[in-house]
Amino acid sequence: MQALLDVVLPVFLVIGAGYLAVWKGGFSDSGVDGLMKFTQSFAFPCLLFRAIWTLDLGPDFNPWLLVSFYTGSLTGFVTGLLGARHVFKRDWEDSIAIGFCCLFANSLMIGLAVTERAYGAGALEANYVIVAVHSPFCYAIGITAMEIARARASGSPARTLPRTVLTAMFRNALVIGIGLGVIANLTDLSLPTPVTGALDLVIRAALPAALFGMGGVLCRYKPQGDFRVIGFICAVSLVLHPAITWTLGTLTGLSTSAFRSAVITAAMAPGINTYVFASMYGRAQRVAASSVLIATALSVLTVWVWLSILP
């Protein structure tokens, strides 16, 4: 119970404050849009650039961290895709959007915040390793699957697929921030102190602003759509993904710090990017929006459970 009070509730209270502010008219929809634009297009790319730029994996880095997390993530996508197609009888494009909801955990806005609250800022190194791969990995899978489905439906030539996927990925500000961070890390880039100080000012605003803005965004969504599909997405995201990560992390001997980061990140609800992806293609938007809202609410309790059983 103390973990719930000290770690989980502060994060979700900030989200709730944003929800309440918009619901009661104290914060406008345009204000929420501006806040989310700032965090998604500027603050988080700066945070990722800084984190990847200064990341030192060292000889102790265990690649099983990524295998444990992304095996669960990919399994979630396949489970969501096939479940939507064969159990809920959705068409292939809807099924891919639903699979993406099971694939894209909220590793950045809530995953970082919960891990930092639980174990301190020094425990975030493994989180940053996961996050560095997250957007490129998830968007590559989602966009590739959707473009294949659309190409098959329209009879478009397969040779245009790689260009379409790469163009969509490298328009994403998070991917750009990660890519620049990798370049800076590999070239041992040095920036003047005033520049790094400015970066740090922006970065410190990223998490609280994003959590507050996320609450405002969720206020727009009504829990509509197929509730059986939404329940299915919640089960895959909040239970199956972290369970697979836990199992593989245990079998492969991850360090305690890396194991905690991997499981907590895997236990996150679907992120806002799942709705962004659904909107990009105009598929399963109500299900995606409702899944973000309901799974985020449920994760108040499920994250507490995972925290209580972690070493």
pLDDT in tens, 221-247: 766 668 899 999 999 999 999 999 999
Nearest Cα residue to 291 out of 214, 224, 216: 224
CATH topology for 2-309? Na+/H+ antiporter like fold (1.20.1530)
- Does 22 have pLDDT greater than 60? yes
Q: For residue 302, what pLDDT is reported?
A: 93
> Confidence band (pLDDT; 50, 70, 90) for 5?
low
Q: Give the Cα separation of 22 and 262 in Å (integer).
A: 33
- Does 4 have pLDDT greater than 60? no
155 HSE (CA, 13 A, CB side): 0
Other C-beta atoms closer than 10 Å to the C-beta of 123 total 17
Give per-residue pLDDT as tens, 53-95.
Answer: 887 766 667 899 999 999 999 999 999 999 999 999 999 999 9
> Confidence band (pLDDT; 50, 70, 90) for 12?
confident
Q: For residue 158, what pLDDT is reported?
A: 65
15-21 mean pLDDT: 91
Query: Where do the domains of the chain lie?
Result: 2-309
Quote the pTM value.
Answer: 0.81
Per the DSSP assignment, residues forming a β-bridge with 270 are: 105
CA angle 301, 125, 40 (to 5 degrees): 70
Give per-residue pLDDT as tens, 94-103.
Answer: 999 999 999 9
